Amino acid sequence: MLKATYLTHTLRFKNPSGTSRGVLNTKETCFLILKEGDRWGIGECALLRGLSIDDRPDYEAKLKWTCDHIALGEIALYKALSEFPSIQFGVETAFKSFFAETPFELFPSEFTQGNTAMPINGLVWMGDPDFMKHQIEEKLEQGFNCIKMKIGAIDFASEIALLKSIRESFSSEEIEVRVDANGAFSPSEALEKLHLLAALQLHSIEQPIQQGQWQEMAKLCEVTPLPIALDEELIGIFSSEEKANLLNTVKPQYIILKPSLIGGFRGSDAWIELADKLNVGWWITSALESNIGLNAISQYTFTKNSKLPQGLGTGSLYTNNIAAPLEIKSGKLNYNSKKQWDTELFSEHLK
């Protein structure tokens, strides 16, 4: 008989990680574990406090409910959890893991065999100018040719100066630069700032203004000199009608898919299908999951055959992540099939 349990785990950042919403020192997450006889599977319910639509008081009660009703099966549970996208993702990945040949190879491919790597962006966190400059230099030394820099927390002039320093050394052909404002600009100032950023030959900007201002965002997307990618804007949009309405109204240049925040693989597939019809570009990004969730997202992403660098470089952020075969080399994510997973953290749940 199939049984389900869950385990909570607090991930600790190696360095305080700054966003426009504040500085992160820890990140809590939950693992959903399925067990029947010798077979088992694991998925991650990666709630992101302050951002996930399912950051609500009854979250743990819903996790317990999910475990108690695991016999309903993946599809019925997924439908019942429509207001809890991070648990939907955990359910999807746990069942995929359970039925896989091995629990950590959810989407067998050239990637999981270690034959092909995926290009990813190097993430530069917010902080004082010296700290950000150090991170940029570090990413360039590590061989990244696509950098994503979070902006909106320090003064804009300092951020422009940092971006200029990159462009003084590297052309846009040598280094692709993406910026993520996390909604830090006001609608009245956004266009002026977009012009200043566009002069530095950036690839795109994520979420220049706060989510929920569809008409303001539509105006920006229509006249922007710099391609705009919707990120937080996708959170809490559940039905296919709402998804289509958002994309048809705003007409963004890109959307960014975070499976933990938008209903897992099914949610991501729905957005991709719509985006492709409307000629909207997209890429996939992790949302500070542990290596359990990152592994699932990475394997799924590889099957989508996107040519763009993906946002999957968060596995090395933590001091106590689960040791995994995921490795970053020369700006690419690799799966070292010779390296073993460490299952000690949840070994008691596998007995």
CA–CA dist 201, 147 (Å, integer): 13
pLDDT of 117-166, one tens digit each?
999 999 887 777 788 788 888 888 899 999 998 888 778 999 999 899 88
In terms of pTM, does the model score above 0.85? yes
What pLDDT, on a 0 to 100 scale, did the predictor assign at position 18? 67
Let me know the angle formed at the C-alpha of 43 by 231 and 335, rounded to the nearest 5 degrees. 80
Q: Is the Cβ–Cβ distance between 314 and 123 less than 8 Å?
A: yes
Does the pLDDT of residue 8 top 90, yes or no? yes
CA-based R_g, the chain, Å = 20
Q: Is the Cβ–Cβ distance between 41 and 100 less than 8 Å?
A: yes
334 vs 132: which has the higher pLDDT: 334
Domains and CATH numbers, the chain: 3-103+343-350 (3.30.390.10), 118-335 (3.20.20.120)
* Chain-centroid distance, C-alpha 257: 7
pLDDT of 40-83, one tens digit each?
999 999 999 888 999 999 999 999 999 999 999 999 999 999 99
Q: Which residues pair with 150 in a beta bridge?
A: 180
Mapping DSSP to helix (H, G, I), strand (E, B) and coil, where does residue 7 land?
strand
pLDDT of 11-43, one tens digit each?
999 987 766 567 889 999 999 999 999 999 999
Q: How many CB atoms lie within 10 A of CB 261?
A: 26
Residue with tokens 């893991």: 97
Q: Is the Cβ–Cβ distance between 1 and 36 less than 8 Å?
A: yes
What pLDDT, on a 0 to 100 scale, did the predictor assign at position 170? 87
Residue with tokens 């937080």: 232
* Active site residues per annotation: 150, 258
CA–CA dist 42, 217 (Å, integer): 38
Q: Is the Cβ–Cβ distance between 247 and 275 less than 8 Å?
A: yes
The torsion of the CA quartet 149, 137, 290, 243, rounded to 10 degrees, works out to 20
95 vs 138: which has the higher pLDDT: 95
Q: Compute the half-sphere exposure of residue 237: CA atoms within 13 Å on the CB side of its CA.
A: 24
What pLDDT, on a 0 to 100 scale, did the predictor assign at position 168? 87
What pLDDT, on a 0 to 100 scale, did the predictor assign at position 21? 64
CA–CA dist 69, 334 (Å, integer): 36
Does the pLDDT of residue 301 top 60, yes or no? yes
Q: Which of 341, 322, 323, 313 is nearest to 117 (CA)?
A: 313
Phi, psi of 325 (to 5 degrees): -75, 0
CA–CA dist 136, 341 (Å, integer): 30
Residue with tokens 């590590």: 142
